[in-house]
Amino acid sequence: MTDLSQFKNEHHLSLETFRKSGVSVKTPVWFAQEGDALYVWTGSAAGKVKRIRNNARVNIAPCQRFGEITGEWMSAHASIDDSDAAIQHVTTLLRQKLGFEFVPFSMIEKVMDKLKGHHRVCIKIALIESK
């Protein structure tokens, strides 16, 4: 069993992904939890999506809206799912968690995606079990 307790009352996490060169990029994102997994909703053309497709190893930590870390870094594995079912499921999880705060954000993101010709994808994050 993984311990995601430090994320329980948080709205944001810092997602650290890695470029091919090994340089890390930390991005604050909204997330929702379901069971032992954390889920993020983002645009298909986002840099973090490209980096995860190249290297699924990530680090995560709870953070404030603009990325100030508020907890401990944890090693994790991320996967991308762009299926309609996954996008709808994560959208529902985020709407339930964030309530009204999610509505204007999601509307703006949908318009921007349409203008840019992009779509939403889901990132599933699971902690790496320590041995």
Distance, CA of 39 to CA of 21 (rounded, Å):
26
* pTM of this structure: 0.86
Q: Are 67 and 14 in contact (CB under 8 A)?
A: yes
Domains of the chain in sequence order? 5-127 (2.30.110.10)
Task: For residue 17, report the phi and psi dihedrals to the nearest 5 degrees.
Answer: -115, 170
Distance, CA of 73 to CA of 88 (rounded, Å):
29
Q: Mind listing the pLDDT tens digit for each residue in 21-55? A: 999 999 999 999 999 999 998 988 899 999 999 99
Distance, CA of 67 to CA of 24 (rounded, Å):
14
Q: Mind listing the pLDDT tens digit for each residue in 96-110? A: 888 777 666 666 666
Q: Mind listing the pLDDT tens digit for each residue in 78-96? A: 999 999 999 999 989 988 8
